[in-house]
Chain A
Amino acid sequence: MNLLKLLDTMCPDTNSSEEKDMFFSRREAFRQFGDLSKKVAMAAVPLGVLTALPKVAKADTESLIGVLNYALTLEHLEYRYYQMGVESGVIDGADLNIFTKIRDHELAHVNFLTEVIGNVLGGMPVAEPEFDFTAGGNFSPFMDYPTFLALAQAFEDTGVRAYKGQAGNVMESDVVLTAALSIHSVEARHASMVRRLRTKKGQDTVKGWITNASIGSLPAATQAIYAGEDNVTHGGVDVTSLTGIDAAAVSEGWDEPLNKDQVLGIASLFLA
């Protein structure tokens, strides 16, 4: 769960007492870091604290930085999309407060992840990529409001699935896991709102939650975003058989993860 537990699962594969001593002293260093991380808020983690950690920590730090840079890439995409949407004037005036709020959250996520990667973990935050939200001329999201809404739904549902797919990869760090979960649920709130807004506008009949693996009225290019969402088996239990509740409702009750390759495949449609 935390870094200490991770170290506990490692084993000095050696008979050298010197190396074993080193292992256990490293573990002790982690124990102290673990206590520290419980006491200080994320933002208050002293700069460079991780550089003081023993070498064995570096591999895990590198892995965390990798996951967070992946998340940052998606947050850049979302922020730029909403920022351009708000600036373009395509959004109905009555809905501007909704998308301004979402834009503000995505910007906050960009800034937060940049700060954690750079100043807390001592890594190099990815630069914002060049985006092409027309996906090679296929969409006109900043000229056509229904298209803007459709892509917003696609990005939010992808974001939820992307964060979920990384939970296991950051679970060694309680602080990073909690932060990731706290972003994840915000993305889910956005997704729910955008989906329901599209239905209110008569663009679709989707609900705030994902029914089966349905793309609704979204373009076929979005099918990869919903692949596997129709799963009804969790922890080895087929919940439909267990409860007698219809598969559509059970599929709505659990969101599914996407792995990094799946997400980058989706996002790459919008890279310039």
Chain B
Amino acid sequence: MKNELIKPKGLVTNTNRRNFLKFGTMSVAGAGLLLMGCNDDEDMMPPTMNEGVKLGSGDIGILNYAYALEQLEAAFYATVMTGGYFANASAEEKTIMGDLEKHERAHREFFKAALGEAAIADLEVDFSSIDFNDRASVLGAAKTFEDLGVAAYNGAGQFIENVDYLLIAGKIVSVEARHAAAIRDLINPGSDDFAGDDLIDSNGLERTLNFTEVLTAASTYVTTPIDFSQLPTS
């Protein structure tokens, strides 16, 4: 008991984090409560500003960052399904687009549920630069989104504090990489572009992007301002 007095604050905080995950086995009805245990001052949860959204800080901020990207991807594939490209696509490409639409929607809904009240609002998107009747335009945008998603998760991983969140992000990022490789192969069939030198360096490591780089790239397609100033920097 004496030792309690000299425990660094971090230990207490982390213990709480671990404990609350034990509550994480509740089902959908309670899904919104998943993050309630995170009420230490690092993980404030500010859902909205007047105009735009605030991602927040700590792990909540990073989960909202992922949620923002998944919203963007899900909205993109939902629009793809309504366009002329999809209507005329080959059977293989129809299957791929249909799968990606479901995967990204599932990712989006998962983050929304996991974040509960801490979740940012729905983002407004602007896909006016994409021609959904044109194969090259759709696949080019899909490549941008999927490669961006991989680099974003890979770059954010080091800032995640909770090991369970890190694992969940890891479970998703490899699927985004599987998507990215497939899209790249549709664009340049049978080439080595699925894991191209534009992304993978001489050590065999895929590129990582930081929060600013990712959100700057995404801002072409998102009209809602995103305040990510509270995301962790170290």
Contact = CB atoms under 8 A, between A and B. Distances in A.
Nearest to A166: B170
Nearest to A11: B7
A18 interface: no
A189 B192 contact: no
Contacts of A97: 190-192
A253 B10 contact: no
A181 B99 CA distance: 24
Interface in B158-198: 158-161, 163-168, 170-182, 185, 190-192, 194-195
Interface stretch (B23-31, B44-52, B77-85, B219-227): B23-31
Contacts of B24: 235-236
Given A9-B8, A11-B11, A112-B205, A252 B173 contact: no
Interface string B130-159: 000000000000000000001001110111
Nearest to B104: A253
Contacts of A249: 99, 102-103, 106
Nearest to B4: A11
Given A182-B154, A189-B180, A254-B171, A1 B159 contact: yes
B177 A257 contact: no
A174 B161 CA distance: 11
Given A167-B157, A181-B154, A188 B190 contact: no
B202 interface: yes
B113 A189 contact: no
A95 interface: yes
Contact of B3 (A1, A2, A11, A175): A11
A145 interface: no
B192 A208 contact: no
A209 B14 CA distance: 34
A241 B29 CA distance: 10
Contacts of A183: 204-206
Nearest to A100: B192
Contacts of A2: 158, 234
B113 to A, nearest CB: 5
A117 to B, nearest CB: 14
A236 B106 contact: no
B94 interface: no
Given A2-B234, A209-B178, A182 B205 contact: yes
A98 B27 CA distance: 43
Given A11-B8, A11-B11, A167-B157, A245 B195 contact: no
A100 to B, nearest CB: 7
Nearest to A179: B205
Given A105-B204, A109-B204, A237-B28, A181 B6 contact: no
Contact of A160 (B7, B106, B174, B208): B174
A177 B157 contact: yes
B6 A208 contact: no
Contact of A250 (B106, B176, B202): B106
- Looking at B99, B170, B208, the one whose CB has the most chain A CB atoms below 10 A away is B170
B127 interface: no
Contact of A239 (B106, B157, B204): B106
A164 to B, nearest CB: 5
A251 B10 CA distance: 35
7 contacts: A38-B234, A108-B204, A185-B206, A188-B174, A189-B178, A208-B96, A249-B106
Interface of B: 2-3, 6-11, 14, 23-28, 31, 34, 95-96, 99, 102-107, 109-110, 113-114, 150, 153-155, 157-161, 163-168, 170-182, 185, 190-192, 194-195, 200, 202-208, 234
Interface of A: 1-2, 5, 8-13, 15, 20, 34, 38, 42-43, 94-95, 97-98, 100-102, 104-109, 111-112, 160, 164, 167-168, 171, 174-175, 177-179, 181-193, 196, 207-209, 234-239, 241-243, 245-246, 249-250, 252-257
